[in-house]
Structure 1
């Protein structure tokens, strides 16, 4: 039974993204987390949902943030200019710390139509010049906790008695929850984590308010920003149909953000510096398949 002092989460806001049908090769795109609301979503900056063929996300640079890419369907070919290569399938996740100078390509493999969700996760100023790194979390390596009527797969953080394998510089939780119709489940998160969710399938009710959200719906949840990492909070969930949801959480980073194409820094001058460094070759050679 829950302690009376436990923070109970509710849906603060929810929405359904609009999708742009771009044609070939970037077939369709939607913005799940709008970067204009980045302070509200912190430490998360944006999330994009994309369907695309080969040639959309070829060689490009990044600086100052991290990405968490979840493969919904298809095969994602990743190439970086340090010689890294990997192929990810549905349910796999790639974590990248762009740090000071990432340069990579994220392509649909062969003739696949790839479907991905890419989350941009901010870095605090003290970590924006860290070394670039990549980590693949294959679906079979993300631990699963089964319970009556469903399961939870943990990609990052300590959840439901298991620890996810993601080694994020800014600690976050990331879980995929699958429920049968009628199943009730209570998701546990640190009370001081800002959190959002995205519905992959079905329809669920969230919180004591029983806010209904269906497939492609996204929501941001209430949290206790002045609370403690060690104190738990609860989110009540009930599946109205067979359903699947992704839930992410992290501690807000209360710093100014400056955007410039593929770069996320703290000031406009740092963005200009990033473009100068790109022109000077600081990011290294292009990321191409050998």
Structure 2
């Protein structure tokens, strides 16, 4: 909840920064009802990056959207970059997230919900899917919702960060991550540099929202908007240089791998094919967490 100009010492350059080991341009595809998303994680070139299952950059205008659909076995994190989305589920949870707001939804054993534009014009944002460990897949659903004004912030030496989860510049987010995760939105002014530690053993990636930057090595070729950069497992953290004449904005996410089998069938992510079959039957017959699914409609 805190805001800071950070009295913590500036992060020093790493002796061994993490390298960029894969660079992927997100491609537009249809999703939901008339909606367009740019998907990076979740495509065949990058099926998942344990514990991350999917990353979409969405761009949606009315009447398109994401009408009633189920989830089981993971979390969805929706971060609004522009506009507003209204969410409602079969348990009566309803709310609208606007520019800068975050909804961290733990689907657990079962959610049926809708996500639809709440204002005119184009609504833009990022949706990240984070896997749950087998022991957590059937927990009760829960939400963590933060308005933009309540997201932890820090700023130092031309670098501003909004800390959705984890810690940067000595400032920590209040969000609880069942699967240990860090998730941040950085804006770097021209000429600035960043050296952000990442816990050893965690998988990490960068998604560039706007501008261009040099990632990993100071002599690397610049990467531009809509690219997903997968970082190598070895190294102390992420090093970035903004050598351009315009601001650079990107998301950094890192998570502790679960090292468990991933079996996915659309909106259900479990550990075995039998569990997926069970999820599909539970949804169809309205049981084991989906009891309210058959008689509920967001349009009602």
TM-score of the superposed pair, with normalisation by structure 2: 0.86
State the shift of 1:27 in Å. Answer: 4.4
Cα–Cα, structure 1 residues 24 and 121, in superposed 2: closer, same or farther, change >3 Å?
Answer: closer
CA distance in 2, matches of 1:279, 1:40: 27
Which of the residues 248, 253, 261 maps onto 2:258? 253
Question: Matches of 2:46 and 2:33 in 1, distance apart?
Answer: 28
Q: Is the 8 A contact 1:160 1:188 kept in 2?
A: no
Taking the aligned partners of 1:23 and 1:38, their CA distance within structure 2 comes to 18
Shift of 1:26: 2.4
Q: Which runs of 5+ in 1 are unaligned?
A: 225-231
> Which residue is equivalent to 2:3?
none
CA distance in 2, matches of 1:54, 1:185: 40
Residue of structure 1 aligned with 2:66, choices 23, 32, 57: 57
Which residue of the other structure, out of 195, 201, 206, is the alignment partner of 1:192? 201
Gaps of 5+ in 2: 1-10
Alignment match of 1:265 (pick from 270, 274, 278):
270
Q: What is the 5 A alignment of 1:29-40? A: 29-36=37-44
TM-score, length basis structure 1: 0.89
Report if aligned partners of 1:48, 1:118 keep a CA contact under 8 Å in 2.
yes
- The reply on whether 1:14 has 2:17 as its aligned counterpart is no
Aligned to 2:156: 147
Mapped partners of 1:153, 1:182: distance in 2: 20
Query: Residue 167 of structure 1 aligns to a residue in which SS?
Result: coil
Aligned length: 281
Cα distance change, pair 215–98 in 1 and its aligned pair in 2 (3 A): same
Q: Are residues 1:238 and 2:264 paired? A: no
Residues 42-83 of structure 1 deviation map (CA, whole Å, 9 limit, x = unaligned)? 110111222223453111110011111111211010112221
* More deviation, 201-210/93-102: 201-210
Aligned partner of 1:113 among 87, 107, 122? 122
